[in-house]
Structure 1
């Protein structure tokens, strides 16, 4: 690694060990139910429509993230200060600008999301599910187009 400073295609993982720890079954089921409700809900036109049809807030937030990811002007403006000092983010904003300026758009997009949860215990011993991070990866790639064409 030291011989190739500045290379973004190389990484080294730190060794670590995970030990199993008890996790309340009720909270595990709750997390699974949240994801299932999100997975099976239809994409709707508005937050109000989602709530009116009994969909979860999680689904509404997923839809918000998806729509924000397509608002190029918003994303560029939101990162204007960051790109002055962060080369990594500046690289992504440059890609975003190139995509916007190319004026090409594919009809299909694959959005992969993962939510990480932890168990919170209050001072009375009650357990609560807490979302700690949301991972989002959106893909538009020729290989996905080819896969879609096969089906």
Structure 2
């Protein structure tokens, strides 16, 4: 699964093990976790992990540990997608049919040739220079 591993240990999980995991809170919070297979977790370590925001996965069967970690990764991916959804811009090609109003607010009738148009999608006009046959930069409309 290409999981970045900071350290590996044997035996029960103590507070110092959780302290190592807290270093990931600054770099990548989604990797501030501990995968504990068939070991005991000290009560003090468990309490410290909850206070610091470290997620501990503990299982006696390796497949259960794998399944719970996979579900956690999918949940984190969905949260990241939801958080960045407003910033996503989907490319599209429009064909101008009619300009209804040239002033603010500008109203243009278009036909969507390719892609998806959503509310708030920035639109720009493409103009080709006939001498060089290159695209000339045009201002972006909000």
Is the TM-score greater than 0.5?
no
Give the number of the structure with larger relative contact order, counting CA–CA contacts within 8 Å between residues 6 or more apart.
1
Shorter-chain TM range is under 0.3
Q: TM-score normalised to the size of structure 2?
A: 0.20
Q: TM-score normalised to the size of structure 1?
A: 0.19
- In terms of fraction of residues, the more helix-rich structure is 1
